[in-house]
């Protein structure tokens, strides 16, 4: 596997920071772990509900507006004095109910979107309908394989770096598809690796093998697990998509409840 890094245009001013802040608020409410010192915020059901409405991916055209930011901030200020009793959460359905106002608790690291601090500066790319569809396929396959939300985030971030979530039929050294998998390296035929479902499963199966021998994989930096599968010349490049990948996974998974 060789990286075919494609650099998107510069993120829109303030878009990445707003996404980081709002995603952190939602994760705090759901008991899904601390995103980072920069991403954490007051954990309240109202703030998280605003967050989940704001963190959407429709060609990059939607982002939190000033009214949503004010509503989330106000909700956090009003409710921080009375933390809710927490019970363990075990499914995304539990998280969705917690966001709706029911008691929330803590998830195992494999079921958290951001179980540890993100590594380095974060980037943002607007998504077309085709890119969204490919991201949705990756998330659906990860959850169908019972690999957890964290695996889905790793997979989506990896595809964002390798192909910008475009199912391309060209690449460096004959690398193809969402994950730039090389047929001559045993990933499958050209037709297979350009099938989004097959490509997602191939990546996830390789990731599962890494996870089996690395029990702490979920709390490792995202790039470490991605690189273990991809063997890229630029191992740290996957890290910059972590926050947006987590938002994509949250949006897709929430609609699968």
Per residue in 205-217, pLDDT tens?
999 999 999 999 9
pTM of the model: 0.65
For the cut 70, the answer to whether the pLDDT of residue 96 exceeds it is no
Contacts of residue 128, defined as CB under 8 A and 6 or more positions apart, other chains included, come to 59
The domain total for the chain is 2
Please state the rounded mean pLDDT for residues 48-66: 35
In this structure, the answer to whether residues 104 and 133 fall within a common structural domain is no
Contacts of residue 224, defined as CB under 8 A and 6 or more positions apart, other chains included, come to 217, 235
Does 3 map to a domain?
no
In this structure, the answer to whether residues 182 and 232 fall within a common structural domain is yes
Does 9 map to a domain?
no
Of 108, 139, 159, the residue at which a domain comes to its end is 108
Q: Spell out the alpha helix ranges (H) of 145-178.
A: 148-163
- Percent with pLDDT over 70 in the chain: 57
In this structure, the answer to whether residues 102 and 141 fall within a common structural domain is no
Does 143 map to a domain?
yes
Of 108, 140, 175, the residue at which a domain comes to its end is 108
List Cβ<8 Å contacts ≥24 apart for 142-148. 142/200, 142/204, 143/92, 143/253, 143/256, 145/201, 145/204, 145/208, 147/110, 147/204, 147/207, 147/208, 147/211, 148/108, 148/110, 148/111, 148/218
In this structure, the answer to whether residues 142 and 249 fall within a common structural domain is yes
For residue 65, what pLDDT band results from cuts at 50, 70 and 90? very low
Does 114 map to a domain?
no
Does 57 map to a domain?
yes
Residue ranges making up the domain that contains 50 = 15-108
């Amino acid at each position: 596997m060789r990286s075919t890094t494609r650099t998107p245009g510069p993120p829109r001013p303030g878009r990445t920071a707003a996404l980081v802040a709002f995603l952190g608020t939602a994760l705090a409410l759901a008991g899904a772990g601390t995103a980072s010192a920069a991403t954490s915020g007051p954990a309240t059901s109202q703030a998280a509900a605003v967050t989940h409405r704001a963190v959407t991916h429709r060609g990059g055209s939607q982002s939190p507006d000033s009214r949503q930011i004010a509503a989330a901030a106000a909700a956090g200020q009003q409710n921080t004095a009375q933390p809710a009793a927490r019970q363990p959460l075990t499914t995304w359905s539990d998280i969705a109910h917690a966001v709706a106002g029911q008691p929330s608790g803590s998830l195992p690291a494999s079921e958290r979107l951001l179980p540890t601090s993100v590594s380095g500066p974060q980037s943002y790319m607007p998504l077309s309908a085709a890119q969204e569809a490919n991201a949705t396929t990756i998330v659906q396959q990860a959850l169908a394989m019972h690999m957890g939300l964290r695996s889905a985030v790793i997979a989506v971030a990896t595809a964002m770096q390798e192909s910008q979530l475009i199912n391309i039929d060209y690449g460096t050294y004959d690398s193809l598809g969402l994950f730039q998998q090389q047929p001559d390296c045993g990933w499958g035929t050209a037709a297979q690796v350009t099938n989004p479902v097959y490509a997602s499963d191939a990546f996830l199966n390789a990731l599962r093998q890494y996870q089996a021998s690395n029990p702490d994989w979920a709390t490792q930096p995202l790039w470490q697990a991605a690189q273990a599968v991809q063997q890229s010349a630029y191992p740290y490049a996957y890290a910059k998509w972590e926050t947006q990948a987590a938002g994509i996974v949250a949006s897709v998974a929430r609609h699968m409840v």
